[in-house]
């Protein structure tokens, strides 16, 4: 049996928007997972690191031959050390909160970066998907299906080779192992203006009946 359909600029816009939403959602999920560990690392490492730096600096001053401590300065130095310890003990919390605020990602900067990434991704997707616009012929039998573009390449896939099947409000997606590894799929519109509506829907139902359950 043969089905005919056309991928139009309107279809391209729908596909671009759907793919863009998926990719930006993945991007947001990755950043959300990273923010927690990064914040914990900052809290666990930054403050102890500052403390170590201060302690090392003090030890260098005390042990430096050029900086011998006069006897009369011992008590003030000890008091300074105690004052530093008290400051650190009571000031670590406010300092941690300040550092957390200081190094937290800026919302405006994040929004601008996200918008920039979204525009780049949208342009890339539009260029790729626009190239697939045109008229297609879908032929299938009990063995598998063949999809070819008018005056274009021909792709064949056996039913048992299908590993992924997806559906949206506008399209069905069918992919073999090779396409699935690349994140691609054969795109088949739910509706076609290239042939009689009833014939297309009947033929499409027959096509879908061959899709293996393991791919769904």
Q: Which residue has the higher pLDDT, 128 or 95?
A: 128
**C-alpha span between 48 and 112 (Å, rounded):** 33
Least confident range from 46-60, 63-77, 85-99, 115-129: namely 63-77
CB atoms within 10 A of CB 162: 24
H/E run at residue 13: helix 9-41
Length reported for the chain: 216
Pair (113, 173) in one structural domain: no
Number of domains the chain contains = 2
pTM metric for this prediction = 0.61
Pair (57, 70) in one structural domain: yes
CATH of residue 154? 2.30.29
Pair (20, 87) in one structural domain: yes
Q: pLDDT tens, 21-61?
A: 989 998 888 877 777 666 666 666 666 666 676 666 655 55
Pair (117, 139) in one structural domain: no
Alpha helices, H only, 104-136: 107-130
Pair (155, 111) in one structural domain: no
Pair (209, 113) in one structural domain: no
Domain stop point among 83, 104, 127:
127
Domain stop point among 73, 99, 127:
127
CB atoms within 10 A of CB 174: 24
Domain stop point among 112, 127, 142:
127
**C-alpha span between 56 and 50 (Å, rounded):** 10
**C-alpha span between 141 and 138 (Å, rounded):** 10
SS3 185: coil
Pair (83, 100) in one structural domain: yes
Pair (28, 110) in one structural domain: yes
Range of the domain at 38: 12-127
Pair (94, 53) in one structural domain: yes
Q: pLDDT tens, 80-91?
A: 666 666 666 666
Alpha carbon dihedral 56, 59, 60, 65, in 10-degree steps, equals -170
Pair (64, 135) in one structural domain: no
Pair (111, 204) in one structural domain: no
Pair (112, 148) in one structural domain: no
As beta bridge partners, residue 139 has: 2, 146
């Amino acid at each position: 049996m043969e089905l005919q359909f056309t991928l139009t600029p309107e279809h391209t816009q729908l596909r671009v928007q759907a793919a863009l939403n998926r990719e930006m959602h993945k991007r947001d999920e990755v950043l959300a997972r990273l923010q927690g560990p990064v914040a914990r690392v900052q809290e666990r490492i930054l403050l102890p690191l500052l403390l170590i730096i201060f302690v090392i600096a003090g030890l260098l001053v005390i042990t430096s031959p050029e900086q011998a401590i006069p006897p009369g300065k011992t008590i003030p130095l000890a008091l300074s050390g105690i004052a530093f310890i008290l400051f650190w003990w009571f000031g670590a919390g406010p300092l941690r909160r300040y550092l957390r605020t200081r190094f937290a990602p800026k919302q405006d900067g994040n929004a601008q970066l996200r918008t920039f990434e979204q525009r780049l991704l949208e342009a890339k997707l539009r260029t790729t998907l626009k190239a697939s616009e045109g008229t297609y012929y879908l032929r299938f039998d009990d063995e598998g299906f063949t999809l070819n573009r008018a005056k274009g390449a021909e792709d064949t896939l056996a039913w048992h080779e299908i590993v992924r099947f997806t559906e949206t409000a506008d399209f069905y997606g069918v992919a073999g192992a090779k396409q699935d590894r690349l994140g691609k799929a054969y795109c088949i519109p739910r509706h076609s203006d290239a042939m009689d509506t009833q014939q297309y829907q009947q033929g499409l139902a027959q096509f879908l009946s061959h899709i293996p359950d393991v791919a769904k």
